[in-house]
Amino acid sequence: MKFELFYWPEIQGRGEFVRLALEDAGASYRDVAREPQGMKQMQALLAEQRGFAPPLLRAGQLVLAQTATILHWLGPRLGLAPANEAARARLNQAQLTIADWLTEVHDTHHPIASSLYYEDQRPEAKRRAQLFLRQRLPKFLDYFAASARTTGRISYVDLSLFQMLEGLRYAFPRAMRRLERRQPRLVALHERVAQRPGIRAYLQSERRLPFNQQGIFRHYPELDA
């Protein structure tokens, strides 16, 4: 099956969690909004109310939005989730917890509104980021470390945990150097994912956009205190 992904063409963002699954599986897909005229197609899908926001995935007649919904549907089709309903539900639960975590990362630099510039909410961002790094980030890392599997089959949740570590290292290098010392299982999982052939090839390709200051993970040194 040929998949079509629709996501903002200039950032990794939420679309990256879907891309990693497609790339790991070697699936055939188009990254539509990065093609000429692709943004118009994405805007048309959104205007049809097919989703509140990107990413969107089209597979034949089916159009799905919401990262976790897309991954729940894709998982068994890409060999990245079991077919069993209870096991799929547990992966979905983990992915939703990653989604909550990601929103908290985003809100460290945009605590007041996404529609405002970072520069217009800098004192608030500093306060939120400080509490995030002190209270929330260790809690999320501990939670996922407890269930991180360093053997057995890889799931789309493992790929998403890889991406969380990638992004957090970019955004908060100082905090992560300190926190990762206590998380050998997460570090091992990250390394295991990085070595998978599909992921390795993807990370070296130009399809992998670099992190930047428009994405969800942003590096503002003053927030990484």
Residues between 128 and 157 that touch a second copy (CB under 8 A): 128, 131-132, 135-136, 140, 143, 146-147
Q: How many residues bind a second copy (CB under 8 A)?
A: 39
Does 86 engage in binding with a second copy (CB under 8 A)?
yes
Q: Can you read off the two tokens belonging to residue 35?
A: 């093609």
Residues between 193 and 222 that touch a second copy (CB under 8 A): none
DSSP 104-134: HHHHHH-SS-TTS-GGGGHHHHHHHHHHIII
Q: CA neighbours within 13 Å on the CB side: how many for 198?
A: 14
Does 68 engage in binding with a second copy (CB under 8 A)?
yes
Q: What are phi and psi of 16, to 5 degrees?
A: -65, -30
Residues between 166 and 195 that touch a second copy (CB under 8 A): none
By residue count, the chain amounts to: 225
Q: Which residue has the tokens 């989730």?
A: 81
Contact 76, 20 (CB under 8 A): no
Stretch that binds a second copy, among 11-19, 24-32, 83-91, 151-159 (CB under 8 A): 83-91
- Distance from chain centroid for Cα 208: 13
Collapsed DSSP state (helix, strand, coil) of residue 202: helix
Minimum distance of a second copy from residue 103's CB (angstroms): 6
Q: H/E element holding 64?
A: strand 62-65
Stretch that binds a second copy, among 2-10, 13-21, 59-67, 188-196 (CB under 8 A): 59-67
Name the residue nearer to a second copy (CB basis): 29 or 101. 101
Does 69 engage in binding with a second copy (CB under 8 A)?
yes
Q: H/E element holding 201?
A: helix 197-204
Q: How far apart are alpha carbons 125 and 218 in whole angstroms?
A: 12
Residue of 116, 194, 203, 225 interacting with a second copy (CB under 8 A): 116
Does 14 engage in binding with a second copy (CB under 8 A)?
no
Does 6 engage in binding with a second copy (CB under 8 A)?
no
Q: How far apart are alpha carbons 220 and 199 in whole angstroms?
A: 27
Residue of 28, 52, 119, 181 interacting with a second copy (CB under 8 A): 52
Interface contacts to a second copy, rule CB under 8 A:
49, 51-52, 62, 64-66, 68-69, 72-73, 85-86, 89-90, 92-93, 96-97, 99-100, 103, 107, 111-113, 115-116, 124, 127-128, 131-132, 135-136, 140, 143, 146-147
